[in-house]
Structure 1
Amino acid sequence: MSKYLLNKFLYTVDRDPALVERYREDPVATVADWEAEYAPRLLNCVAGEATTWLAFDDTERAALAAHDYPTLFELGAHPFLTLTLFIAMFERDHGEPLGFQREYAERLAHMTLPYPDIST
């Protein structure tokens, strides 16, 4: 398991409107393509530098493909990264202000302190 890679996924997808929409519409293909194309890239490094050891495990891949943010939170994905990406994807589906944020809070209400470690 790599909390770094989960957070990298959330961070990079959230910053690209086309990836946000693609992830919303076709999460399985987006996760697979992102893992092949973006995961090896190093953040803030010279173009062409890459790593070969980063990959999602089956649990991470399934949670990302299912838009399962409670499981992502339990796996240690940073809640701010998770929340901002899923707001971008699903806020429009809620008819009331803060509708998605309320749903997010309800789906994570079973979590108690101490929360999962979000350090990478």
Structure 2
Amino acid sequence: MSKYLVDKFLFTIDRDPELVERYREDPAGTVEWWEREQAGRILNCPDAEATTWLAFTESERAALAGHDHVALFELGAHPFLTLTLWIAMFERDHEEPLAMQLDYAARLAHKSLPYPDIST
């Protein structure tokens, strides 16, 4: 597993409003496209280089495609990266102030210390 690759996905998607919308509307397609077309380019790898750290594991791919921030947290994705991206994608779906953030936290409430290692 490459936590760095997952974090890089979350970071780069969050920084581009068009990619945020693409990921919101077609998460599996966006994950597949990014992994195939962007992972090596963003990480400045030569086209001929193919290593396992340039590909998501099945668990990572499923969590990303399922917008599953709890699974991503359990896999070691940085929670600030998922939170900021989730705000961009899902805050508009909630009428009450901070409702999205409270829902995000409630879904992680069953977790206790020690948390997964988020270092890359």
On whether the aligned pair clears a TM of 0.5, the verdict is: yes
- Deviations 1:38-89, CA, capped at 9 Å, x for gaps: 111244x5xx745522100101000000000000000000000010001100
Give the TM-score taking structure 2 as reference length. Answer: 0.92
- Deviations 1:10-37, CA, capped at 9 Å, x for gaps: 0000001000000000001000000011
Cα distance in 2 for partners of 1:117, 1:19 equals 27
Superposition pairs of residues 60-79 of structure 1, within 5 angstroms: 60-79=60-79
Q: Which runs of 4+ in 1 moved over 2 A?
A: 48-52
Give the TM-score taking structure 1 as reference length. Answer: 0.92
- Kindly indicate whether residue 19 of structure 2 is the aligned counterpart of residue 19 of structure 1: yes
Aligned twin of 2:50: 52
Report the 3-state secondary structure (helix = DSSP H, G, I; strand = E; otherwise coil) of the residue aligned with 1:19: helix
Identity among equivalent positions (%) equals 69
Report the 3-state secondary structure (helix = DSSP H, G, I; strand = E; otherwise coil) of the residue aligned with 1:117: coil
For structure 2, which runs of at least 5 residues remain unmatched after alignment? none
Cα distance in 2 for partners of 1:57, 1:76 equals 13
